[in-house]
Structure 1
Amino acid sequence: LIKTVPEVASVFGKTGKAETATDSAPLEMMETTIQLKPEDQWRPGMTIDKIIEELDRTVRLPGLANLWVPPIRNRIDMLSTGIKSPIGIKVSGTVLSDIDVTAQSIEAVAKTVPGVVSALAERLEGGRYIDVDINREKASRYGMTVGDVQLFVSSAIGGAMVGETVEGVARYPINIRYPQDYRNSPQALREMPILTPMKQQITLGDVADIKVVSGPT
């Protein structure tokens, strides 16, 4: 998407954070370093502000917010203020929906302030989650506890470490989990096979109710 903007020369991306306590980036943060072409190769009338506006229109991904800041400056801002931008407004409250509405109202006003290049309120609501509600009574009929079912769900969906592989001087964990076809929808999760302590084969839907719920992002 970024490379479709004619003024962009190259793009390099990084997901996650470095394995060090000094890295202030959260795990879900994606950093993209953009190198622009020399200004004499830009389209007539193009400026940095116009390029950022075009990038904002082009790079629109659900659940993600764009922030156009030099990498080192971004780190300094995050370490000193806890906010991923040079200037930030923190909204506090007890009701997420009220915080969301207030933050979006502030965003709309901030965009009208002269000199502001971009303003964006982080959305607190709109996340979608799979809720696995384990039925204790049904699980006990098959000789299983709530903990047994939770361990199965955690391993089958999230993965479980079963060993390590050594390549040269580096060690890498070996994780296994069910194939994508078994966990790519609520219905697939309901039909996920479980082997009980009594050697019976049942499905996750036999011992749990599975539904999609809304929650914080």
Structure 2
Amino acid sequence: MRVLLVDAFPMVRAALTGLIEQHFSGAQVQGVDNVAAARAALAQAMPRLVLLDLKVDGGFELLQQIHREHLLLPVVVVSGSDDTEDALQALGAGAMGYVPQRCDLDTLVQALQLVLAGGTYVPPLKRLVDEAPAPRVEQAQPDWAHLPLTPRQKHVLHLLTQGLSNKLIARELGVSVDTVKDHVAAVLKALGVSSRTQAVVVATQKR
């Protein structure tokens, strides 16, 4: 598994490289410190995952470019900022995960595992400022009575917020993947959003 790591600081790149190689067997990490080098790496060989610090000059534009040109390439933002607006901006631009650097290593590993499985990792946005610990993956399903969703759609949205892929949601519900796709499409339409990530962001803000 090839991983492209974009971060301006050598110590951060070294730490993240060691973490990924330790927890993901066979991972090969290519670390670069600027957007031009990242674009060159993407042109040479497509990675399985991109880790990006948006503080790199042009980082946000790179995120948008990857989302536009390589829709299926997941990007996880690993940021020194724990500001809620920064997280929402990154997720809205197409990131499949946002992990503040202050999070513990287990949280980062969990986030990468979720994204690599086709899910989305969203930190507890309403509590980032309070520096609360990340929640466990298994949570009680919120009511979301104010959202224009059927009970089944609320269940699907709940599973989306847990980072589950369509395949895993289908297994959880005992239905086909195509049925899950129909449910997800209905959720996106009801919430007025265009992506799974945006749906998760809306749901997280309205808990």
Normalising by structure 2, we get a TM-score of 0.26
Q: Which has the larger radius of gyration?
A: 1
More strand per residue: 1
The structure richer in helix per residue is 2
